Chain A
Amino acid sequence: MDMNGNETGDSLKKFYILLPVIIGTLTFLFLLDLIIGSVNIPPDALFRIITGGEVKETWLHIFWDWRMPKAITALFAGGALALSGLLMQTFFRNPLADPYILGISSGASLGVAFVMLSAGIFGAGTIFASVGFMGDLSVSAAAIIGSFLVLLLILLISAKIQSNITILILGIMVSYISSAIVTILLQFSDESAMHSYSFWTFGSFSGVTWSQLPFMVSLLLLGYIFSICLVKPLNALLLGEQYAESMGMNYTRIRYGIIITTALMAGVVTAFCGPIGFLGIAIPHFCRAIFVTADHRILVPGCILVGGIIALCTDLISHLPGTDIVLPLNAITALFGAPVVIWVIVRGTRFGRGVIS
């Protein structure tokens, strides 16, 4: 209560009230993603699957080996992408920033392209076979290495250069260079390699198996933890770097922290799910609108949860319940994300100004 008897810290209160609703929706969608799929598993069978009763073996496997990892992946990937987008939007004070603005996903794509497409240059099948021994982590590992290299480049440059605009432009240029190299690799590859690379770019939550899941989830949880630790400096950054420094923030250290955390989350998601667009840019705006705040103490957990919700929704839609058809995930995320971004812009400067433009 303040002097006049007004309630203060309203946004925090509102968040606490909304929290059970959000968690409830998240749980509901998670369960829905487990229940709905192209194969129709009746409710009583589902019940028996969970309680460990007798059930058709294929259904058991479908539930545990396909649907469960997919739902968990969507849950975490959505949160991670939303968080990375939030970090980038605050850091660059740009409402159109997304997790890939530093060129992270381009680096990942380049790594993946090397593994998949260079077979054509070095002789059919050799590269793939030689990395086959790494198991199904080979593509993901290549993607992580690719994003890591881009990250190193960005960190090196940011050590020399103060201006954030420069880093922004650098990230965009890295994206272009990576695309160019990938195009050249595509030119020299054979049809099936081109196909597999092309499918990788569609993005999907379904490709992650139980053996890969622990890696992905633990790395993303690490990213979540870093983000939570960054909440206070992120809030300070809302006023700009000069104010933030005057308030005692060590800008250089925080800058590294934000870049590394974003690269970690965006890189890992891209490595395991392919490049998934629009969630990173749209969900932070969505959160700002529903929580009516720019306070990162609310937005960080908010994005984690709402990110999971939206990702599960897009996954449900892309698997068009009742049919065999799978729509490319990136198409669905664009169909969700683009209207949100348009709505943000159209609603005008006042509501849209979650971040400095």
Chain B
Amino acid sequence: MSMTEKSLKITNIVLFIVIVLIVSLPCVVLGESGELFPDKAFPEYAKGYSVEYYDTYKVVHIHDPWGRDAENYTYLLVQRGEEVPAGYPNAKVFFIPLEKVVALGVVQIPFISKLGEISSIIGHNGVNLVHDPEFRKLVQKGDIIEVGSGALSMGTMLKMEDLIELEPSAVFCVANGNKEYDNHYKLQEAGLKPVISAEWMEESPLGRAEWIKFFSLFYNKEKIANQVFDQVKHDYHEIEEKIKNITQKPTIFSGIDYQGSWYAPGGNSYVAAFFRDAGGDYLLGDGLDRGDRTLDFESVYEQAQAADYWINIGYADNINELLALDQRYQKFKAFQKNRIYHYNARVNEFGGNDYWQSGIISPDVVLADLVKILHPDLLPDHDLYYYRHINTT
């Protein structure tokens, strides 16, 4: 190669490098895509909230089905360092991503855990009840403070002073719309900032699980939320596919009696949805109740005596307790055929039940459990996780 040819090559290479640098510089400065919120998560199944994205902030609405308390259900999530936008007089403002939060309740924990933000929790009102291992480690280290009093019951009494001292940027809690019992009124009075979540009002299992997206809004972790939920959705539908070809739907009843009143999940409830999706025929599901219904023992017996399965036995934990409550439970065919199942396989020594914790974010596992119970041959490799067999012999 001649001297001229060599210098031309070098010039080309240098030029190429310079052009690449010039083109990529703004990208380095501005970030990957040039937006603050490149990943967005929108609810598909969850009906309880909605979100709008703007350049520097997000607006979240909780849909209160009873139409009360509208003021507490709009949140303005503003990226730290940005200005708070005008035009949302009733909204509560939070600067995201959140760094220090207090959680009141157990269901938020698995959501926050899957988002990898357990370390943001500095206080909780029932630390003994939580299963999440990372959470437990932080409790042991002393990084998560107990702010509940009243030992094991959730949400009854709070140690307000301890809570206030923690100075959390948000307090995740639930609400019933009842001024006397809801914590968020007290929290507001104390100058704290409650975030009310309404995942417990979702009837569909996927809808409830999808609230991971709601929590991700506060941490800018929508990407992870989407990944997690898509996987859950996929696994759930996969199992549902297996059900499509079944010929028989076993009959199920649920709940127990107390002193002549039987408390059973309503037809439109979260629990009943699982029964349906698992290919079962839930006998006590007449009516549109989303919560528990009370029935007369007589009529339950009439409807459910011949049912194949008894799933969920209320507050009895084992067969002795069940019989101690009433000898007449032996008359149910499900009892006689030893087909009683209860979701207390993962209950810790303080009474915390993981079904209501990680179970919420893993409806696919719950569904798999139920399918395993109702149609054992469809999932030969699955072992019961949240449910266990209550042996009557």
Contacts and interface: CB of A to CB of B under 8 A. Distances in A.
Determine direct contact between A and B, CB below 8 Å.
yes
A303 B151 CA distance: 47
B350 interface: yes
A129 B351 contact: no
A61 B331 contact: yes
Given A129-B320, A187-B150, A196 B298 contact: no
Interface residues on A, range: 35 or more
A136 B326 contact: yes
Nearest to A69: B328
A134 B324 contact: yes
Interface in A221-261: none
B320 A326 contact: no
Given A187-B150, A190-B152, A62 B324 contact: no
Interface stretch (B6-14, B160-168, B195-203, B255-263): B255-263
Contacts of A139: 324
Interface in B288-311: 294-299, 301-302, 305-306
B350 to A, nearest CB: 6
A39 interface: yes
B259 A135 contact: no
B139 interface: no
Interface in B276-296: 294-296
A187 B154 CA distance: 11
A129 B316 CA distance: 9
A62 B302 contact: yes
B259 A319 contact: no
B347 interface: yes
A16 interface: no
Given A124-B347, A188-B150, A199-B258, A206 B297 contact: yes
Contacts of A58: 301-302, 305-306
Interface in B21-71: none
Contacts of B331: 61, 65
A209 B259 contact: no
Contacts of B153: 120, 187-191, 194
Interface string A288-315: 0000000000000000000000000000
B298 A38 contact: yes
B97 interface: no
A131 interface: yes
Nearest to B149: A187
A199 B259 contact: yes
A61 to B, nearest CB: 6
Nearest to A137: B324
B299 A136 contact: no
Interface residues on B, range: 35 or more
B211 to A, nearest CB: 21
B72 interface: no
Residue among B150, B298, B323 with the highest chain A CB neighbour number at 10 A: B298
A135 B298 contact: no
Contacts of B296: 37-39, 319, 324-326
Contacts of B297: 66, 206
Contacts of B16: none
A39 B302 CA distance: 7
Interface string A181-198: 000000111111111100
Interface string A107-140: 0000000000000110111001101111110110
A202 interface: yes
Given A132-B324, A206-B259, A120 B152 contact: yes
A65 B327 CA distance: 10
Given A129-B318, A132-B320, A324-B295, A121 B302 contact: no
B300 to A, nearest CB: 9
A36 to B, nearest CB: 11
B151 A121 contact: yes
A16 B347 CA distance: 63
Interface in A58-88: 58-59, 61-62, 65-67, 70
Nearest to B316: A128
Contacts of A61: 301, 305, 331
A207 B324 CA distance: 12
Contacts of A206: 259-260, 297
A209 B324 contact: no
A200 interface: yes
A124 B261 contact: no
A62 B301 contact: yes
B299 A66 contact: no
Interface in A303-357: 319, 324-326
B299 A324 contact: yes
A171 interface: no
Contacts of A120: 151-153, 351
Nearest to B296: A38
Pick the 9 closest A-B CB pairs, nearest first: A206-B260, A192-B315, A132-B320, A124-B351, A204-B259, A38-B296, A132-B324, A207-B259, A38-B299
Interface of B: 150-154, 156-157, 258-261, 294-299, 301-302, 305-306, 314-315, 317-318, 320-321, 323-328, 331, 347, 349-351
16 contacts: A37-B296, A38-B295, A58-B302, A62-B298, A65-B328, A120-B152, A120-B351, A125-B351, A132-B323, A133-B320, A136-B326, A138-B324, A199-B259, A209-B326, A209-B327, A326-B296
